[in-house]
Structure formats: structure tokens, C-alpha cells
A and B are shown apart, each in its own frame.
Chain A
Amino acid sequence: SAVISQKPSRDICQRGTSLTIQCQVDSQVTMMFWYRQQPGQSLTLIATANQGSEATYESGFVIDKFPISRPNLTFSTLTVSNMSPEDSSIYLCSGLGGDGGYTFGSGTRLTVV
């Protein structure tokens, strides 16, 4: 399975600012995804990161708030824009490998104050 490096691992940010999270995969994955996990909750899909084109967002998530880039098969970024305390969460990237398994990065714990 692919190994995904995600950074930063955690950050504390002021409201109104933006944070960009990066994910680097050690091998090619066919698809990459971004999730959010609220404390004690399960994973909610934010969007599918498409190589070289606009991401596909799930209901309730918009590009202006969560712009995503995927310039190549092994790298993607998620930006959380104009943050508010409600954006405090764990953000996870995931990749679908050639073996059919989905693996996750180590996560970014974001606190907005």
C-alpha cells in the first residue's frame, strides 16, 4: 500500500487566516481524497482531488472555503480558508492505490482560536 506523508501534523491558527495542508505519496495513486474528522466522530469526505483539474466537492463543502490542488499523481494540498473556530478538526488525506486499498496520511490537527 502507498505511504502518505502529511504535514503539518498540527497547528494553532488565528481566526480569519488560512492554512495549507500538504500530502505527498511515495508511489502513484489513482485517486486522492480529503476528509475531515471532528472529535469523537467518523470521517466526512470533503472532496476528491483530481489531477490537473478542479476538485470534486461533496455536499456542504465549497471551493472558496477548501481550495484543493493536485498538480501531479503523488502530491495534493488542501487549504482551509478564512478559518473560524468551527473549522477546528482533524484533516486527513487519503489515496487509492493500485492494490485497491485506500490509505491515509497521519492527519493534521487544526485548532482555530
Chain B
Amino acid sequence: QKEVEQNSGPLSVPEGAIASLNCTYSDRGSQSFFWYRQYSGKSPELIMFIYSNGDKEDGRFTAQLNKASQYVSLLIRDSQPSDSATYLCAVNSGYSTLTFGKGTMLLVSP
């Protein structure tokens, strides 16, 4: 059974700090990896996705992928209170369907 694991949190960081969110997955054949932000009562919003080992940067966000360790992370630089949300990791194992983790709640304090 394909599994995606995330620490439920909450992860608390002060404003301006770097928030680091982590995700591990069980299917070694997984091909693409997605990070979503979900505010309470809203639908998931795609932040970014990554296919290849290494880092991918988009503004304040950096996704990091290590397929050997089956590990993907999301770094948020200069965290803002508006970044407070639940962050969902999702994995595509090659059949075009996504398996989601349970999400990590991030709290950024002013």
C-alpha cells in the first residue's frame, strides 16, 4: 500500500524564520511530488511540484527531493503569518493519481 507520511505538527516558527516541512513516501517508483497549501475551510492550492532529485526554487519556496532516501521537503523562507496553514504533500506513483499525506499544520507567529 502506498503511503505518504507527514508530521501532523503544529510546526511553530517566528515571523521571518525558515519553515521546514518534511514528507516521506513508501513507493520507490514514485515519479512526481507535489506540495499544497490549504487554509482552513478552503481547497488545496498548488505551491509547486518536483520531478528530479535536488532543489527547485520558486520565490520564497524551495522543494527538495531525495529519491534514494524517499524524502521530499518544502522550505519556506522569510515565513509570514499569512503562511499559517496546513501543508499537504502528495505523490504520483505513475498512474496519474495522487496519494496525499495527512498534512502538517504550520503556525507563523508575528
Contacts and interface: CB of A to CB of B under 8 A. Distances in A.
B102 A42 contact: yes
Contacts of A106: 42-43
Interface in B53-110: 88, 90, 96-103
Query: In terms of DSSP, what is the predominant structure of the interface of chain A?
Result: strand
Contact of B101 (A1, A30, A33, A42): A42
Given A42-B102, A100-B49, A102-B34, A92 B43 contact: yes
A45 B102 CA distance: 13
Give the interface residue-count category, chain B: 10 to 19
A107 B41 CA distance: 9
Nearest to B99: A45
Given A31-B96, A43-B100, A107 B43 contact: yes
Interface string A1-42: 100000000000000000000000000001101000000011
B103 to A, nearest CB: 6
Interface of B: 32, 34, 42-46, 49, 51, 88, 90, 96-103
Interface of A: 1, 30-31, 33, 41-43, 45, 48, 92, 94, 96, 100-107
